[in-house]
Each structure stands twice: as C-alpha cells, then as structure tokens.
Structure 1
C-alpha cells in the first residue's frame, strides 16, 4: 500500500507545485519498479511474509514490473498524442490504469481483485474512444466493454455465491468449492471472465477491433499487460479448482490449439499491419492457454516466460506500426511497401522484432515456447503436431509482415518524410534489451 500512498501524494504535490505530469509519472514508475525489484529479490528469503502483507510472489512481482515498464515506454511513444490532444486527461488515464493494474496484482481478496480487474477497462475505454484515429473507434469501444462485461458477469455471481457459503472472498477459501460438482457451471463461469480477457479463440473478436482503433499507447498496454491479467487470474484460481478443471481441460486445450491454427491462417491474409499484429497476439495467447491447461509445472514456467516475452515483443511491433503510420498516414502493408528504400535505419528493427515474434533465439519467446511444448507433450503427444503447424504459421506471417512492409517498389510520394528520431530509436532499444538479456 506504500506504493499507492506515494502515487496519491505525488499527484497532490504536482497539483500545488505545477510539476510536469510526464516527469511525475516517470518518477513514480521508477520508484515502483525499484521497490518491486527489491521485494522480488527478497522473496526467496521472506516469500510467505511478503505474500501475506503485499500479495507479492514471483508471478505478481514480474507482472507489476512489466506493467510499469510498458507504461514508461507508452509515455515515450505518445509524445505526438500529448501535443495534439488533452495531455492532462491522457496522463490521468494512464495513471489510473497503472494504479488499477498494481492493485489487481497485489490483492488476495477476490472481490477487490474483481473490482480492480474490471476497473482497468475504464482507462482503456477512454484511450480507445477518446484518442483513437477513426470514427469506428466507437464500435471498437462498445465491443471492448460488452465482451468483457458479459464475460465477467458469471464471475461476479460466483463470488457472491462463494461469500454466501463461506462468508469470505479470500482466494484460499475457494478450494472448498473444488469437490462440489454442483459448482461446475459456477467454476466455468468464473474462468470465462479470464478467457475473454486473454482472449481465447471464439471470444476474441473484441481484441482486433480495439487494437486497430486504439492509439499506440492503448495498443501497447492492451497487448503488453491487459491480456496478461487473464492469464494471471487463471493461474491464481486454477490451483483451487484443479480437480474440476482436470475433467474439462481437454475442451479448453483443443479449442485453443485449433484456434491458434485458424488465427495463424487469418494472419496470412491481413492487409492491415496493426490487425496482423493483433491476430498474432490471439494466436500466441492460444499457446498460453494450452500451457495453462496442461497442468504441468514446466508448462506454467513457459506461460510466464511467454506472457512477459509476448508483452514486450507485441508492444514493440505496435510501436513500429505507429512509426510507419505517423509518416505514411496508412497502416496498409501494400501502400507502405518498400520502406527499406525510404527509412533503411528502421529496417533492422523490423527484422529483429519479426524474428522475435516467430520465437527465434535469443528471446524470451523461444524459452516460453520450448517450456510450453514440454507441457503440451506431457499432456498429450498428439498436440506436438498442432504445435508444429502453429510454429510454421508463426514464421510465415512474421516473414510476410517483414518482407511486404520493407521490400517492394515503394512510392515516390514518401521520399521527403521525416527521419526516425532519437526517442523512437530509444523506444525500440528499450523494448529489445529485456527480451534478449533475460534469455
């Protein structure tokens, strides 16, 4: 809670002394990252104590660090947004989003977790609808709210049912429902909220729409952190419902495996760069669901690596798409072809993030996919065939994205465009370093 008080106190100081909002947010984020990193280093010695006081363990501390690191990069990527639109409301939305994410990863009380889990949608909705580029952003915002709201309604009913039986919302009491077969529908409803947020295939339609219409900051936080909230919720609750979930895991596993294959093929026919990156996120999250429902420790380790690696890689790809869009005013792969002739210095970054997106070494994505593969094979050997096709399609659409955007004839109308700035190079560098350093 010290972090929450620090954020509120900093806001009050900035209002009285007129400190720059961007500088303020930078200082808050650095403080929180350093504090969580310190607590993370102490977990091995005082793990149970930290979990009881702060709700911190290895999983939550890694995701908190990822959240605020991505938000720092969001501020760096959103200079043009702050200059052209209301800077105050934008920074307040980002601050509120950071607060809700921090509390979501720290609360052990299920009702408080649910409140913060759902409240994080409000700043995202403001970013998509208020700072999007096209009129279709209204439809994207409606999809975002209705999919996630209706998916979370069964979870709310399950929480009230749990409180009615046990008079507590603490996660540790939820294991008492594990042996009650009458609670099967309630347990399925609880996990639906997290599967919509990941999202699982068939309930994923809100994600491409939200990504395409959101500004670069919205896309970065959606892909980098909000999708991970779904995986975090599943990992937190799955421990208590393992007996029931073991019986139905094959359905989730099969839907996600087949869905990843289908979405991989959808990626190959996309003409919009942002839409392609968004659908590739759905494909990768299908592998995450397979790793989760493999009920294997190695698979879960792979899920953590995959969530962190995908958060950084997809955020970097959205930044690259935005750099192109600010110069071409188009996200079309075909209209923006031949960028190597116009911005050759940016081609290296496109190549690096494209190969990381296909899980090439040295990257966290490769580690994650290897561990997830072990988990999938321990669950069922036949899943190896599906994994091979998913990896092949991942390579296919990553190369398709790189080759069509960078090679080709290009257009003479774009010869006099602005060169890449130092801040944009810094943005890509800070995305790349954690991806390859922790390998």
Structure 2
C-alpha cells in the first residue's frame, strides 16, 4: 500500500514545468525502496488486497525500470507543449501496471488489467507516427476487450459459488473446457499467442517509442503473469487442456519466425520477434514443471529488457533518418559506428546467446518441453534456428550495406548510451543472481 500511495502522491508533479528529471529521480528512489523490501517465497507485504511474492517482485521492478527508461527515451517530446500531459499518461499507465502485479484479488486485478488500455491508447493516438494509428488503437482496444469479457464471467462465477476471489483460495475441482477457455483467452491475447497476435504489430508500428517500450516490456508480461496466477486456481484444467495451446504455440513460433524474415520495417520485425519469444515462454509455462515456470518467468524478464532495448535502437536510427525501412537503414556501421557494438549485443541476446538471461531461460524451457513431449525437440531446433536467422538478418541488414548518403556520419548522445546501458546491464547481471531461484 505504501508504494501505491508513493506513486499516487507523485501525480501532482505533472502540473509543474521541467519535472522530467525529478520524475526519474522519484522512480529510482522507489526502485531502491522496493528492491530492499522483504519478499519471501509466497505472499508477503500483505495489506488491503495487496501482496507480493517472487513472481510479482521481478515484474514490479521491471515495471519501475522501464517506466523511467521510457522518459529517458522520449526526450523529443520533452520540448513539446504537451509534455506534461504525456508524462501524466505515463504515470497513470505505470500505476495501472504496478497495481496489476500487486493485487492478490482477481477482480481488482481484472479492473486495472482493463484500465491500462486507456492511457496506452491515448499514448498511441496522441504521439503516434502516422494516421493509421487510429486503426491500430482500435485493433488493440477491441481485441483486448472482447477477449477479456469472458474472464469477467469466470470471476463472477467463482465469486457466486465460492464467495472468494483471492488467488490462494481453494476453488475445488473443475474439468469444464469452457471455464478453462474463458479463463485463459484474455491472457493468451495479451501474451500474445499465435492466431491472437494480429493487434501487436499494428500497435507497435504506430506507437511512439514509449508506447512500444511499455507494450514490449510490460503489457505482454501481464499475459504470462495472469496465466501463472490462474494456473494455481485450477491446476487440473491446465493439466488436461494445455496441449491445445502448446500445439498452437509450437507451430506459431516457427511460422512467426519465418514471417520475420520477409519484413521490410525494423519495428515490424522486432514486434513479430516478440510473438515468437512469448510463444516459447508460453510453452514453458504450459508444461507445468518447475524448470518450465522458471524458464518462462526468466524469459519474460529477459525479453522485457531485450525487446525494449531493440525498440530504442530502432528509434535512435529513426530520429536521424526519419524512416524505419531496411532499405534506408542500411550501412549504419558507417553512419553510427559507436552504436554498432550495442546493436550486436542486443541482436545476440535476442537469439538467446550467453551470457544473457535469455540463454538460461531457453535452456530451462527446452528441458521442460522435452519432458512434456519428447518429439518437441525437432520443433525446438527449428525455432532456435529461425530465431537466430531473423536476429542475424536484423543486424546484418541494418549495419552492413551501402548507406544512402555516403559522406555522412552521426554520433550518439550520452542520453542514448545511458539508455542502452541500463537495458544491457541487467540482462547480463541477473544471470549472476540465479542462485536466488534455488533457495
């Protein structure tokens, strides 16, 4: 509760001028306070429907980190007259996501899960790139709304029958496929699973950099987090029906990886790569093994940082070349040599190379998938190969080739180096802290 009040009392800051640096300072203070808060393996810090455990702990820290990085990345908006309104929307979105990861009550979590759509749509409509942002906002809105209404019915059903909506309550046994479908469809759309992913590339391409960062870094993680939470409610249903979503994800990850290889837009490629990675995360989750859960959770954290960093890199070249097309973003090795190493790191970590957290998470997920279905090893080899292909394609197409203006060169600012370093350091450092998982 104290953290929520901290964020609410930050809201009046938006009525003052020149508060961008002050906002970042307060968020960093909140990261420090929250990091040192006591978190046990199961729910701790319980107060007024709020609780945190290891699952929500990492995702809340990721929320705080990406919220401050969004502000650093959006420096072009700080000179506009609407900069305070933009910051207000970011704070509102950040508060909603913080509350989604903090609530131990299903209904309260559902309310803020839905409410987070409003500030995100305002960000896309207000500071997006092209007129098509109106269509992409509607895609996002209706996909999420239609898929999450069945979840509300399940929540009402649970309350009517068991008079409780806490995640750790006992809800007896049920083998109804419709309850399972209604319970997971909202999170599968948010994740997004293959066949429910059509809103994601549209929303990413039209969103401003802050919208893309929060979509890739946090909004997709709500799907995985919701599945983990609801998995504990009805474990038997998941054991019985998870093969359906497992099959769709394993085929979908291969097809989406192939789709990545024909993209001409940098942001589109990174958006589709998110679908492939979250498909792997979903497969690890659906095996319902300890390694699968760990791998899925670590992939959510790693993907949140890696994908957000790739969107920042795409935005850095967009701000200079005013295009996201691969045909103009060629030869960046000549144009921005200082950023080439950062591009290499992020493309490598995107294909799960060591020493990144993505590498460990993929090993965990592969182990759990083979345990779940031994023939999945053939599909895993294809997914890993195509993931490496599109990451290599992204790096080689953007860095090599002939730059369209041969005698031009541009350095990067300290702000951009800081932004990329804060994305990069946790990706490598979290791997040093993996002993926490095996306490």
User: What residue in structure 1 maps to residue 321 of structure 2?
Assistant: 328
Matched, 1:270 2:266: no
User: What residue in structure 2 maps to residue 313 of structure 1?
Assistant: 306
Equivalent in 379, 387, 395 of residue 394 of structure 1: 387
Q: State the Cα distance separating 1:399 from its structure 2 match.
A: 0.6
Task: Check conservation: 2:128, 2:206, Cα contact below 8 A.
Answer: yes
Residue pairs, 1:240-319, within 5 angstroms: 240-319=233-312
Matched, 1:3 2:3: yes
Q: CA 1:85–1:303 in 2, change beyond 3 Å: closer, same or farther?
A: farther
User: What residue in structure 2 maps to residue 159 of structure 1?
Assistant: 155
Equivalent in 427, 431, 434 of residue 426 of structure 2: 434
Distance of 1:367 and 1:360 partners within structure 2: 9
Q: State the Cα distance separating 1:347 from its structure 2 match.
A: 1.0
User: What residue in structure 2 maps to residue 410 of structure 1?
Assistant: 403
Q: State the Cα distance separating 1:419 from its structure 2 match.
A: 2.4
Matched, 1:351 2:347: no
Distance of 2:23 and 2:110 partners within structure 1: 25
Q: CA 1:14–1:278 in 2, change beyond 3 Å: closer, same or farther?
A: closer
Q: CA 1:354–1:13 in 2, change beyond 3 Å: closer, same or farther?
A: closer
Task: Count matched residues.
Answer: 430
Q: CA 1:236–1:328 in 2, change beyond 3 Å: closer, same or farther?
A: same
Q: State the Cα distance separating 1:239 from its structure 2 match.
A: 1.4
Q: State the Cα distance separating 1:171 from its structure 2 match.
A: 2.0
User: What residue in structure 1 maps to residue 197 of structure 2?
Assistant: 204
Look up the SS of the partner of 1:349 in the other structure. helix
CA displacement, residues 340-384 of structure 1 (integer Å, 9 cap, x when unaligned): 111111111111111110000110100110001111111011111
Report which stretch shifted further, 205-214 or 6-15.
6-15
Distance of 1:283 and 1:38 partners within structure 2: 34
Matched, 1:87 2:96: no
User: What residue in structure 1 maps to residue 116 of structure 2?
Assistant: 120
Report which stretch shifted further, 300-309 or 75-84.
75-84
Structure (1/2) with the larger helix percentage: 1
User: What residue in structure 2 maps to residue 379 of structure 1?
Assistant: 372
CA displacement, residues 313-337 of structure 1 (integer Å, 9 cap, x when unaligned): 0000000000111111110112211
CA displacement, residues 272-330 of structure 1 (integer Å, 9 cap, x when unaligned): 00000000000000001100100100110011110000000000000000011111111
Q: Which blocks of at least 5 consecutive residues in structure 1 are unaligned? A: none
Q: State the Cα distance separating 1:417 from its structure 2 match.
A: 5.9
With the length of structure 2 as denominator, give the TM-score of the two structures: 0.94
Distance of 1:85 and 1:14 partners within structure 2: 13
Distance of 2:2 and 2:36 partners within structure 1: 14
Q: State the Cα distance separating 1:47 from its structure 2 match.
A: 5.1
Q: CA 1:85–1:386 in 2, change beyond 3 Å: closer, same or farther?
A: farther
Distance of 2:357 and 2:46 partners within structure 1: 26
Look up the SS of the partner of 1:410 in the other structure. coil
With the length of structure 1 as denominator, give the TM-score of the two structures: 0.94
Report which stretch shifted further, 47-56 or 115-124.
47-56
